[in-house]
Chain A
Amino acid sequence: MTRTLIALSVVSLMAGVLWAQGPKDALQRELEYEIMAPCCYGSPVGDHDSDAAKQVKAQIGQLITEGKSREEIMDMYVAIYGERILASPRAQGFNIMAYVMPPLFLLLGGLLLVYAINQMKNSVPAPALTKRKSYSDEVFQKIEKEMQELNI
């Protein structure tokens, strides 16, 4: 029990000191979701409940107060922890592939599909279909006449 309370106090103390207090500005919030928690790289510091994450959040707040820009702060963390610290890769060098491929999948898929549909359309025998537009009154009148003949 005593051990538990000590643990609770230590955790709380650290958190209380480290966790940024008061309303967050937009840049702070944005950065908290762009920088991963360096303890496990499992989620951004903004979502993570660990001491390391809280420490990073506090640092970010401090760096913003010091007037550092978004890029400068991110560069700083990349320099310390490597590219892994960023929640999404920067669109440069090889990492461009990460951003180019998904729209390319969609584009290629779309083009292939348009091609396939055109192929499937061409395999249809042309006649008859052109005539089938909608129910014309003339046809209905004829049917009506047939019906009358049949005493329906």
Chain B
Amino acid sequence: MGSVYNQPTRAINWDGWSHIVDVAQDPKRRDAVEKFLAQADLSGEIPAALDEKVLAPRRSAGATGEQCAYILCNLGFAALAVAASKGSAEFAMGCGRLVEQLAPNSPDLALRRHFLSAKGGLAVATLTDQPHLLWDNLAERCATYLRALDYHLETLPSESVESHATAAYSITGQFLSRLLKNRAVKHYAYEVSQLIEVALGLASRLPSTFVSRMWTTLMPGTDAGVFFRLIGAAAECSLQIDKHSLDHAGRGLTYIDEILAQSAVQPAPDFEFTLPIRAELLLLLGRHAEASEQAASAESSSDPSLREYAIAIKARCHLKAGNPQLAAQFLAEVTPTTDQALERWRATWMRDSTDGYWTIQPDAFSPLEDSQLIWRLLAVAAAVVLVHEIMVSNFSLEYVARYSSAATPTMYKFAGLWAGMEGSLLFWLTILGGYVFLLNYLNRNKNRSLMPVVNIVFGIVMLFFFVLVVFFENPFTPLPRGALIQSAGMGLNPLLQHPVMLIHPPMLYLGYVGFVVPFAFAVAALVTRRLDATWIRSTRRWTLVPWLFLAVGIILGGRWAYVELGWGGYWAWDPVENASLLPWLTGTAYLHSVIIQEKKNMLRLWNVILIMTTFVLTIFGTYLTRSGILSSVHAFAATDLGIWFFGFVVFIIISCVVLIFLRREDLTSQNRLESFTSRESGFLFNNMIFLALTMAILWGTMFPLLSEAVRGIKITVGSPYFDKITTPMGLLLLLMVGVGPLLAWRRTSNATMIRNFIWPVGMGLAVIAVAMLFGIMRIYPLLTMGLVVFVAVGIFMEVFRGVRARRRIAGESTLTAFRNMVDRNRSRYGGYIVHLGILFMFVGFLGKAFSVEQDLSLKVGGSANLKGYTFTLDRQYTEVRPNHTAFIVDVSVTRNDKHVTILRPEKRIYTDQNDQPNSEVAIYSRPLEDLYILVGGIDTESGSVVLKIMVNPLVQMIWLGGMILIIGTIVAILPSWTDRKLREKLA
């Protein structure tokens, strides 16, 4: 425990350090400090208690933010000095983060902060059960420390540079030493090679006398040969980096030769581990004979694992030389049977012998990646050609004739791309191609061990859609001979001729298709057994983006239904609407539960299952839309492709189950929860409700099929059912939106609980009481009001506390404090903004309970009253337009004899759609209510017009909530401004 801190005086020599070491060595004082540190959770903002007890007294005595930062640094150093538990090491890292908040611009403090971050990270990795989960993160911390030192090289006094360099190289050396001991370097090849590039780059810029003094200081210590290890690790890494492997192999060889030259001068005890690496590098460079010779010299090693490594290399030398028999013979000589030999060969070469990660050679799949590029280009080209054909009205193509007409307005012609099945599939494929291209481009130097598998998953999904487009639903099929040729085309369905329809389907597609990315990463993590939080961190934005697209698609769908379908509602619980909601719900659950894996390394299996479910639901959604198995208002493009989609869904489910089963041991994580009243539990309950809601909606959606299968009777499960089932669950979810953020991580004490909940609960109850006084007695509206206020007050308190702490501590103005607070923790505060958007939407849903509706039959000049408004029919007339004839009525609206507006609902007859009638709604939106009018028909005998009039309160809140949700998600997606500036400075 704490062994890495046995040489603190050597690592650092700032003023005060030795005092702290004294503190650490006195058991009583050490206990006190340790106790204090263990209580602190510095993962977020500066805790009020720390601020109040330690910083506030000094600030009141005139200490600046920078001085406060030094105090925190010293607390962090003390924590490192006593680091006997993970808690105190985390505290040190937390101090580093807080220092950054207090004094972002001081070079000295910046380096101290990076020291705390790197050394704290090393301590956490030492004291945790699963250190390998932190290694990539630690490599980044070490590299940042070294980069920061490099950046401040000119401005810092030389003694400070020396002490920091010694500390940084010591931490880096200890880290690499651990990796080497675990033979894990190759799994962090990219991160480690970056770290070594930085370390060697800095070493070349440091004064040479100082460098040799530093090596002498570091080398004879407990971690002897740090420098050699460092270079050896670089060589080993060079084997693993794709694309430039030959360059790296050459460099690796130079490093190793340097080691050998140095070891002749100053023998290092364990340089021999570089020998088989040298052999492998030679093999890679095509120098087979030398490689074989080098491997032979390593065969005599006393270390059995090195010996085994050398044997494997030798066998590979024979293989490369085109002598497989010789290879097998050689292996048979050193192992009793050929089977065993082959097994050993497989064990050593195909898999790492210690931790069983699969080592996939990234270059092995480059032909696949290249062929995917061609697929992508072909898909995009096909989509462009189809759009062109629609635009020029080439009605010799069946698809163009069916979904557009010469009279269709140009902008709606474009929507023809996704109006039918064939175009939709092609559009899907194009979007997938776009995602794959972007993902590969952005990951060209990252996640190289995952990307081959990710691309295989993409390949399978793409193949499926390509097969459908090419063999079953080809949009370029010519109009059959003898078909009744519509010389002007059949035109686009009038319902789809709305501006929202230009955005709603692409948004949904972008959402559906986008979930392929996190799914592919999850599969890759399972296949390669890299199931730490790396794949989750790598896909955070790749999940948020499709989630946002899906949300926007769903909201726009609601908006379209409201303004176009003419029934005054926005959500009908139609099977296809449900199909878009289901992956969004599981995706939302996933976005919440990954926070726990990132923070606590728990729920590995759960997160894999959630993202797989989300992806399956996106394909299932397409299946529902396309199969026509359920009656739906979205029957625009139903075809008989259902069986294919169903087959694909079954294939994905079986593959996922098998993969999870094969990797069940890697998916077990040590789940530790301290209390029910913790934020972790809050997240878990929220996940459970999301899943139950998803299951309930899925159950209701599929129940008609089940009923038909079991009883042979068709039934309908419509909105009254879903309203009944989902309203209580939705309110429960709303409750959890409020409760979650008010709970502390790990455990919430009773006092904190009372302090955090008293205001939100009090205000919520007060609002319910006031609503009851106003005569509202229905339970659901009352609960919704109370919960909305409860959640809103909770969010406000969180933000208020954060801003207040920053104002007090860093002396920032309210606006600056708010901006910096959000910028430094974008996912958290972006999440709160999204929650706020959801609240507005709930307020909008609440309005449904108070909407009123009336059917009126009016003659010109006649009027009627509804909810305080007077509606007068002023005139009725007909207009002939390019592809339809419109019967229009002017209805003037007054309230208390004051003019409000004139509404013009229309009844249209589409001439290019076999005279299909369609009602165009007229809506007058005010912030708190909408007036909604629709022409039902005209009684030609009496000359009266039948109007359906609705007054819908609070509907605007839904669209406003949607906009807030979009803003919040964008806040969470965008990178931190401060981090970006820092990275630019360090680059």
Where the two chains meet, the residues of A that have a C-beta atom closer than 8 Å to any C-beta of B are 1, 3-5, 7-9, 11-17, 19-24, 29, 33-34, 36, 40-44, 46-49, 54, 82-89, 94-95, 97-99, 101-102, 105-106, 109-110, 112-113, 116-117, 119-121, 123-124, 128-129, 131-135, 139-140, 142-144, 146-147, 149-152
Contacts and interface: CB of A to CB of B under 8 A. Distances in A.
B937 A11 contact: yes
Interface in B554-599: 565-569, 572, 574
B688 interface: yes
Nearest to A93: B711
B105 to A, nearest CB: 21
B16 A24 contact: no
A89 B856 contact: no
Given A33-B720, A88-B724, A24 B673 contact: no
Interface of B: 16, 19-20, 23, 29, 32-33, 35-36, 38-40, 49-50, 53-54, 70-71, 74-75, 78, 85, 565-569, 572, 574, 602, 631-633, 635, 670-676, 681, 684-685, 688-689, 691-692, 695-696, 699-700, 703, 706-707, 710-711, 713-721, 724-725, 729, 732, 747, 749, 751, 853-857, 878, 880, 885, 887, 907, 909, 911, 915, 917, 919, 934, 936-942, 944, 946
Contacts of A149: 19, 23
A124 B673 contact: yes
Contacts of A85: 716
A84 B714 CA distance: 6
Contacts of A142: 29, 32-33, 36
A48 B936 CA distance: 10
Contacts of A120: 602, 671-673
A78 B38 CA distance: 68
Contact of A117 (B684, B711, B721, B940): B684
B752 to A, nearest CB: 8
A133 B78 CA distance: 21
Nearest to B943: A16
Contacts of A24: 853-855
A23 B720 CA distance: 22
Given A95-B707, A98-B721, A102-B699, A121 B715 contact: no
A44 to B, nearest CB: 6
Contact of B751 (A12, A22, A134): A134
Contact of A29 (B71, B699, B853): B853
A104 to B, nearest CB: 9
Contacts of A1: 880, 885
Contacts of B75: 143
A42 B574 contact: yes
Contact of B38 (A5, A33, A88, A128): A128
Contact of B39 (A12, A110, A134): A134
12 contacts: A16-B857, A19-B857, A21-B855, A97-B706, A102-B696, A109-B691, A117-B673, A117-B676, A121-B675, A142-B36, A146-B78, A151-B16
B54 A124 contact: no
Given A15-B938, A24-B855, A43 B725 contact: no
B691 A12 contact: no
Contact of A19 (B50, B720, B937): B937
A11 B75 CA distance: 81
Contacts of B633: 42-43
Given A94-B707, A116-B671, A135-B50, 5 more contacts: A21-B857, A98-B717, A106-B692, A150-B19, A150-B20
A152 B71 contact: yes
A146 to B, nearest CB: 6
A121 B674 contact: yes
A151 B946 CA distance: 86
A102 B574 contact: no
A17 B880 CA distance: 26
A133 B49 CA distance: 13
A11 B944 CA distance: 14
A82 B719 CA distance: 18
Nearest to A3: B915
A7 B910 CA distance: 11
Contacts of A11: 907, 917, 937
Contact of B33 (A22, A86, A146): A146
B917 A7 contact: yes
A102 B937 contact: no
Question: For B38, B878, B917, which residue has the most chain A Cβ atoms within 10 angstroms?
Answer: B917
Contacts of B939: 12-13, 15-17
A148 B195 CA distance: 39
B915 A7 contact: yes
Contacts of A42: 574, 631-633, 635
Q: List the 6 closest pairs (A to B, CB-CB), nearest first.
A: A15-B937, A16-B939, A12-B938, A47-B567, A102-B696, A88-B721
B572 to A, nearest CB: 6
Nearest to B47: A135
A117 B687 CA distance: 13
Contacts of B674: 121, 124, 129
Contacts, number: 260
Contacts of B670: 123
B529 to A, nearest CB: 23
A46 B567 contact: yes
Contacts of B855: 19-22, 24
Given A16-B944, A135-B53, A146-B78, A109 B716 contact: no
B685 A16 contact: no
A117 B919 CA distance: 54
Given A21-B856, A152-B70, A134 B718 contact: no
A150 B40 CA distance: 21
Given A42-B631, A43-B567, A139-B32, A105 B23 contact: no
Nearest to B35: A139
B944 A102 contact: no
A25 B602 CA distance: 56
Contacts of A12: 887, 907, 937-940
Nearest to A42: B633
B567 A140 contact: no
Contact of B915 (A4, A150, A151): A4
Nearest to A12: B938
B672 A43 contact: no
Contacts of B885: 1, 4-5, 8
A140 B569 CA distance: 59
Nearest to A138: B32
Contacts of B675: 121
Question: For A101, A105, A129, which residue has the most chain B Cβ atoms within 10 angstroms?
Answer: A105
Question: For B20, B70, B946, which residue has the most chain A Cβ atoms within 10 angstroms?
Answer: B946
B29 A94 contact: no
Contacts of A87: 716, 718-721
A59 to B, nearest CB: 15
B631 A40 contact: yes
Contact of A102 (B54, B695, B936): B695
A20 B688 CA distance: 46
B595 to A, nearest CB: 16
Contact of A54 (B696, B732, B936): B936
Contacts of B566: 49
Nearest to B67: A152
Contacts of A8: 878, 885, 887, 907, 909, 917, 938
Contacts of B936: 15, 19, 49, 54
A89 B717 contact: yes
A94 B35 contact: no
A139 B716 contact: no
B26 to A, nearest CB: 10
Nearest to B70: A152
Nearest to B726: A102
A84 B78 contact: no
Contacts of B38: 128, 131-132
A131 B12 CA distance: 32
A84 B715 contact: yes
Contacts of A151: 16
Contacts of A129: 674, 747
